[in-house]
Chains A and B, each alone.
Chain A
Amino acid sequence: MERVAVVGASMTQFGERDAWIRELLAEAGDACLRDAGVAPDEVEHLYVSNMASGEFEGQSGVMNALAHDLGALGAYTQRVDQTSASGGAGVYAAWQSVASGASEMTLLVGGEKMTDTAPDGVDDTAFATDVIASLTHPVEYKHGVTLPSFAGLTARRYLHEYDAPRASLAHVAVKNHRNGVDNPNAHFRSEIDLETALESPVVADPLRLYDFCPITDGSAALLFCPESVAAEYTEDYVVVSGLAGATDTHVVHERADPTTMRGVVESGADAFEMADRAPEDVDVAELHDMFTILEFLQAEDLGFFEKGRAWEAAMDGVTDRDGALPVNTSGGLKSKGHPLGASGVAQVHELYEQLRGEAGPRQVDADVALACNVGGFGNCVTTTILERP
């Protein structure tokens, strides 16, 4: 099976955008084709990662809309939904299309329009929270269970079980905000201190405002082709050396250990096996920090740290930009923002820049990089390993 290369990447400004989903997708898709010098009619497969354009703005069929807007007519196209992990699932679909020989040039665009989408008289944050909570099982939804409340339930159990101080979670927020300052496309580009994070308003006790990512609009794109022709587009391409997806229970309370995400464990192990790599080989990682606690769970479940020890690593600066394993150099979802379908694509965009040495002030020394994209509350997970050829 031929290896798959990434030969182009782009992302739009993340934040509160006036643009709606069609415009956001087209902006990132167009920029990605320009980045690689590829004409729209060369695109054979076009995937769109998106969770909820129908729910947010009443626009379905976004993949066909994008094919038309980019001039990629004739391409096979498909929308990929795996809730918050739609972007990672899109990477998987794009990789499959090229690895199987079905496509020699695949464009993946992930995007979401989330802000200013609520009906009249409904709070914007409450509406977006409900759209996302609609992924839950009826026995969860009827109680008003939201994704942030899952994070609160899990964080309390984690702190209790592993004797972790609440301040360890604030360290994640402070770090990712600091990284986001140097990302021109990030939603937030301001540092915060520990005290601000620790004293911010309670959202889902013990978690506070700064433990949560914002509600954000944005889009990101990647271009994939067989490694054998990648050099025609760029000398500095990146290879997808490992990737895998896995699922966990839909009903979150049915998991035997609330502090372990089985989808992360299984997709991580499978991705490492495919790449013939181990956790200690990874130089930089983008983890799905929709909530600060998730950075600990993934860092442990991927094997970077022992169970119950990631909080110490965060406090010791191991995951800082100048630490042994920089995590979320992009600012993460926490600071960059989390436009649902865009996030998994934007994670790979950051790693593409890191591996090519194009990350500017965020640059770290990296030959092997890993992205973990989590949907629901660990319900669906895709882990991707990228390397310099």
Chain B
Amino acid sequence: MTLDAHRCPNGHVTVPGHPRCPTCGEAQTETLDLTDRVAEVVTWTVSTATPPGVRQPNPLAIVEFDVDGEPVRVVGGLTTDEVAIGDTVEPVYVDELRDPDAGIRHPGSQSWDGYRFDPV
């Protein structure tokens, strides 16, 4: 899989995508691959009280990509807890982010792979 952003005809971009753009209500029509881009850490935490099937501790961040001048934020795990606001990170693929069989959500209801962020 790729880390995809979704754009509507009015230029609003979101990750994840939605049936209609949350800003203007138009359908999102374009997909942008963020996999090979870098982002900046907006904020981060290290969660120590994690739910069943989640790594402990679990460093997490909200990061911001610049997509043609439009800021686009994404949440994801970090590969390290050695990070600061403003650091540059890049996406790294992980095939199973948490144990799909251990939590309350039905394993078949969603995907479990995705991207964590690694300081550049």
Using a CB–CB cutoff of 8 Å, the interface residues on chain A facing chain B are 55, 122-123, 125-127, 129-131, 133-134, 137-146, 148-149, 152-157, 160, 201-207, 249, 251-254, 258
Q: Are B51 and A254 in contact (CB under 8 A)?
A: no
B-to-A contact residues, CB < 8 Å: 14-16, 22, 42-55, 58, 60-62, 73-77, 81, 85, 97-98, 103-105, 109-114, 116
| Complex Cα spacing A206 to B43, Å | 11
- Inter-subunit contact B54/A202 (CB<8 Å): no
A126-B52, A144-B58 known; A156 and B75 CB under 8 Å?
no
Give the complex CA separation of A202 and B49 in angstroms.
Answer: 9
Chain A at the B interface: mostly helix, strand, loop or mixed? helix
Name A145's contact: one of B53, B75, B81 (CB within 8 Å).
B75
| Cβ B110 vs Cβ A203 within 8 A | no
Can you name 14 extra interface pairs (CB under 8 A) apart from A138-B110, A149-B45?
A: A137-B16, A141-B105, A142-B113, A143-B114, A144-B60, A144-B98, A154-B43, A155-B45, A160-B43, A201-B48, A204-B46, A249-B22, A253-B74, A254-B73
* Contacting residue for A143 out of B15, B49, B85, B97, CB 8 A: B97
Q: Using known A-B contacts A138-B109, A144-B54, determine if residue A202 contacts B46 with beta carbons closer than 8 Å.
A: yes
Query: Are B104 and A258 closer than 8 Å at their CB atoms?
Result: no
- Do A148 and B16 form a contact, CB below 8 Å, given A126-B52, A130-B52, A141-B105? no
- Among the listed B47, B73, B97, which residue makes an inter-chain contact with A149, where contact means beta carbons less than 8 Å apart? B47
**Cα–Cα distance between A14 and B110 once the two chains are bound (Å):** 36
Contact between chains at B45 and A144 (CB < 8 Å): no
User: CA separation between A160 and B47, bound complex, in Å?
Assistant: 19
Q: List 26 A-B contacts (CB under 8 A).
A: A123-B52, A130-B52, A138-B110, A142-B98, A142-B113, A143-B116, A144-B47, A144-B53, A146-B49, A149-B45, A149-B58, A149-B60, A152-B60, A156-B44, A156-B45, A157-B42, A157-B43, A201-B48, A203-B49, A204-B46, A204-B47, A204-B48, A205-B45, A249-B22, A251-B14, A254-B14
